[in-house]
Amino acid sequence: MSKNGNRGGLVVFEWRDGFTGRRYGFTKEQQDAARRLVAGLLEAKLKKEVGDDLRALADAAAAFWARDYYRLVFPLAFGREVVDGGVRAVFLDDPGDRVDQTAVFRRAPLDGAARPPLLPAGGRAPAEYLLADVVLVRAALANIYCRQRGVDPGLLHVLRLACFTGPLAAELAASGFDLPEEVRRLVDFLEGDGEPPAELDAEDLRRLWEAGAVAAEEAMDIAPASFAVTVVVGAVQRVKQYVFETPGLNEIRGGSEILSDVTERLAVDVATELGAEVVLRAAGSHLEFLVPDAETGAAWEARLRREFVAATGGVLVAAAAETLPVRDLLGDYYRAMGRVYQRLEAARNQTRPLYPETLPFEERCAICGQRAAEGWYQPPEGDAEPICRVCLIKREWGRDARRDKTRELEEQLRGGGRALWGLGADAGLPQSLDDLIVGHPRRRLVAVVYGDGNNFGAVVQQLKNIAVARQWTCRVEAVTWSATALALAEAVRVSVPAPHAAAKEAQRKPSLPFQVLALGGEDIGLFAWGPVGLRFAERFVALTDREFTPAPGHDGARICFSLGVLVADAKAAVARTVAFSEGELLKWAKRAARNAGYRDGGTIAFLVVPTADQIPGDLDDFQQTMYYREGATFPVCLTLRPVTAAELGFLLDRAARLREAGFVGALGRMAAAFVRGEPRVAVLYYLYQKARERKGRDDGGFTALLEDTRERPPTLADLDFAGRVLGTRRPFGGEPVAGGRETYFAPLVDLAELVKVLE
């Protein structure tokens, strides 16, 4: 391990976050402590395997590095803590340029404010490589290499185990954990001492070992020229169409669960047959992994298609395999993978729906109304109805509460199980969108939240090496799930006050006020009771912004998330609300983030429409009609949307205070004056109201509450609800225009819409 720097007189080990430019420094003592801690966790994992089965030990070690370790260190910037029985996020201090010698390391994922036990790869590896990245790449290449050359399976697993334990061999030995003799000998060889068993080619192995732990350009020269591996990719086509094709929450949840379950099962199959280190990605309904040769690749291709079709009753899957020189994977990863994806694209075009047409005499499924019925199901009320195979499988899965993303979230938050949401230990999954509603609010509003990452494409294009690519994939997954779990826990606690919670718990079968969906990739999708959905959006973007805040001067693209949130009547058609949230609001939010150069991080575009028929047909028209006034002297924009997390938090808090103070009516009248009348007249009305308050003739406080400058985010420092220019802010997050007219912002409508959700 190298000494990478010297800060404040302390010799430190350093790891650089390649995606934000942040640096994490450690003293020698800290690095030793982190290594002992990680070795202890690895040892505990190995000790769970009984007997001397080297293969089982190697598989356990592979799972430790490929899954447990990344979930332990990511996210870097936040953890979870329990306060008054409720789970909430805690931000970790940015170490900045100093080394915190009192730092304590996490012993489990999201372990309070303890710091992640980062182990830099060290040696000649670039500063952003983690030891885990290097361990996994070396093991994967050694694994494939041995299989190609027909090396005895026993020896293969000895070599794998040597790859996984070698870097921490000293720590393992010091704690009394004895590696088998043959593993120790191979560790010594890999570290540069002695010879390998005759079956292994010493020269090739050393080259692979070295190539796995150096910068991309260098790896190109070191890796054996003739060594190639086959990459297999499988991806479900039109995931959204499959999940949202029918309106019922049970079928939607079922569809999402089936896809994530079969993906996970296939990843386990690959890990069992070939080793977890060869799996590059397994999330949503997308798989990427390495196999020894084209023949094995073709077999897996067929198997992926078959398994997805069998699990779903007929979903479109594209799969492809491509053989690539290892030099390209190590030195030119993005371009090399591009070749695999070209293949996938070609395979995609050949995919045909399995249920093309319904013949005129066939009875159609009562749920999807498209495919031919193959059986019957009994709805809660009424007679049995015809159902197709696809809908039947979804329905059965959706009704099975044992399998659900909610359980994964609860595991992620460690502690409390179902009870952590504050709605009782036996709260069930919502069976319909109406079940999401808590208590008896004035309007039965459901939020449809849809989101994804900004700049992920740009990040992926920069990935030159397979090691960093894997780190990125694992980090995105860990951060997305942790942020989702914590944001929901906080949103439910804030939005469901104790009396509501008690009322909900008193129901015969209380249900949770949210449903998270797995949609593949870094897509975020969930349904929630209106207030929970809005709070979730705010917390989720705040957490992910924190994780990916770039270091000062970092020149890479800023990573952040954008969300679309449509809050509409629980009876609105799901196909319509999802399409609007994803197709219109999310796109709007992403556009605004891009136009701002991602300066303030992620963005949220929300819209509250109490009835389904108010969902705009054309968002641009709607924006102009509802929120924009040309004005005689200057244009006025009546909304701040899309907003940042801090801005949404501010607006939600202000809306809640107005409601508590009994100003819902006053707010509605004032907002209507801006929407319906001339801005000039509306401003006069506002000033008149303010003057009355000052004289104490009216029940004072409405404008005073609006003008309270406390807790305003910096981007709204100049805010005046009666109208004010806000720096360079453009209407609807539009592109900055040089020399254009300044726009005044008078965003009372934002508060008026949010209050409707809180009533």
| Residue closer to Zn ion, measured from CB, 223 or 367 | 367
| Residue closer to Zn ion, measured from CB, 281 or 395 | 395
For the CB of residue 368, give the shortest distance to Zn ion in the complex, in Å.
3
For the CB of residue 360, give the shortest distance to Zn ion in the complex, in Å.
18
Convert residues 578-597 into a mask of x (bound to Zn ion by CB under 5 A) and - (unbound): --------------------
Q: Which helix (H) or strand (E) holds 169?
A: helix 169-174
For the CB of residue 304, give the shortest distance to Zn ion in the complex, in Å.
24
The b-or-e profile of 504-529 (16+ CB within 10 A means b, else e) is: beeeeebbbbbbbbbbbbbbbbbbbb
For the CB of residue 574, give the shortest distance to Zn ion in the complex, in Å.
15
For the CB of residue 41, give the shortest distance to Zn ion in the complex, in Å.
47
3-state secondary structure of 651: helix
Gap between the Cα atoms of 530 and 754, Å rounded: 9
| DSSP state, residue 418 | G
Q: How many helices (H) and strands (E) does the chain have?
A: 28, 20
For the CB of residue 90, give the shortest distance to Zn ion in the complex, in Å.
46
| Residue closer to Zn ion, measured from CB, 162 or 388 | 388
| Residue closer to Zn ion, measured from CB, 246 or 581 | 246
Q: Which stretch binds Zn ion (CB under 5 A): 389-397, 470-478, 561-569, 731-739?
A: 389-397
For the CB of residue 394, give the shortest distance to Zn ion in the complex, in Å.
8
Q: Is 388 in the site for Zn ion (CB under 5 A)?
A: yes
Q: Tell me which residues in 391-430 interact with Zn ion (CB under 5 A).
A: 391
Question: What is the token pair recorded at 481?
Answer: 């799930």
For the CB of residue 237, give the shortest distance to Zn ion in the complex, in Å.
18
- What lies within 8 Å, CB to CB, of 385 at 6+ separation is 366, 367, 376, 377, 378, 379
| Residue closer to Zn ion, measured from CB, 254 or 521 | 254
For the CB of residue 243, give the shortest distance to Zn ion in the complex, in Å.
13
Q: Which stretch binds Zn ion (CB under 5 A): 369-377, 517-525, 570-578, 637-645?
A: 369-377
603 pairs with which residues across the strands? 562
Q: How many CB atoms lie within 10 A of CB 210?
A: 18
HSE-CB for 463 with a 13 A CA cutoff: 20
Q: Which stretch binds Zn ion (CB under 5 A): 45-53, 107-115, 365-373, 560-568?
A: 365-373
Question: What is the token pair recorded at 489?
Answer: 């826990």
Q: Which stretch binds Zn ion (CB under 5 A): 338-346, 361-369, 524-532, 607-615?
A: 361-369
For the CB of residue 519, give the shortest distance to Zn ion in the complex, in Å.
20
- What lies within 8 Å, CB to CB, of 65 at 6+ separation is 132, 135, 136, 139, 164, 277
**Total residues in contact with Zn ion, by rule CB under 5 A:** 6
Judge if the upstream peptide bond of residue 120 is cis by omega within 30 degrees of 0: no
| Residue closer to Zn ion, measured from CB, 208 or 365 | 365
| Residue closer to Zn ion, measured from CB, 367 or 706 | 367
Q: What is the DSSP string of 669-705?
A: HHHHHHHHS-HHHHHHHHHHHHHHHHHT-S---HHHH
- 215 closest CA partner among 296, 332, 75: 332
| Residue closer to Zn ion, measured from CB, 355 or 628 | 355
| Residue closer to Zn ion, measured from CB, 388 or 585 | 388
Q: Is 163 in the site for Zn ion (CB under 5 A)?
A: no
Alpha helices in 400-547 (DSSP H): 405-413, 456-461, 466-495, 498-506, 530-547
| Residue closer to Zn ion, measured from CB, 387 or 459 | 387
| Residue closer to Zn ion, measured from CB, 246 or 689 | 246
| Residue closer to Zn ion, measured from CB, 158 or 367 | 367
Q: Which stretch binds Zn ion (CB under 5 A): 1-9, 10-18, 57-65, 360-368?
A: 360-368
Gap between the Cα atoms of 115 and 105, Å rounded: 5
Gap between the Cα atoms of 540 and 322, Å rounded: 37
Gap between the Cα atoms of 711 and 426, Å rounded: 38
Contact residue for Zn ion among 211, 274, 287, 367 (CB under 5 A): 367
| Residue closer to Zn ion, measured from CB, 436 or 578 | 578
Q: Is 347 in the site for Zn ion (CB under 5 A)?
A: no
Gap between the Cα atoms of 384 and 157, Å rounded: 55
| 3-class secondary structure per residue, 39-97 | HHHHHHHHHCCCCCCHHHHHHHHHHHHHHHHHHHHCCCCEEEEEECCEEEEEECCCCCC
Q: Which stretch binds Zn ion (CB under 5 A): 44-52, 142-150, 390-398, 562-570?
A: 390-398
For the CB of residue 246, give the shortest distance to Zn ion in the complex, in Å.
7
| Residue closer to Zn ion, measured from CB, 365 or 637 | 365
Q: Is 368 in the site for Zn ion (CB under 5 A)?
A: yes
For the CB of residue 361, give the shortest distance to Zn ion in the complex, in Å.
17
Q: Which stretch binds Zn ion (CB under 5 A): 359-367, 587-595, 600-608, 624-632?
A: 359-367
For the CB of residue 391, give the shortest distance to Zn ion in the complex, in Å.
3
Long-range pairs, 704-708, Cβ under 8 A, ≥24:
705/654, 705/657, 705/658, 705/661, 705/663, 706/654, 706/658, 706/748
| Residue closer to Zn ion, measured from CB, 388 or 568 | 388
- 564 closest CA partner among 545, 542, 536, 543: 536
For the CB of residue 395, give the shortest distance to Zn ion in the complex, in Å.
9
For the CB of residue 250, give the shortest distance to Zn ion in the complex, in Å.
13
Q: Is 162 in the site for Zn ion (CB under 5 A)?
A: no
HSE-CB for 72 with a 13 A CA cutoff: 22
Q: Is 365 in the site for Zn ion (CB under 5 A)?
A: yes
Convert residues 699-718 into a mask of x (bound to Zn ion by CB under 5 A) and - (unbound): --------------------
Q: Is 270 in the site for Zn ion (CB under 5 A)?
A: no
- 540 closest CA partner among 589, 507, 469: 589
Point out which residues bind Zn ion (CB under 5 A).
365, 367-368, 371, 388, 391
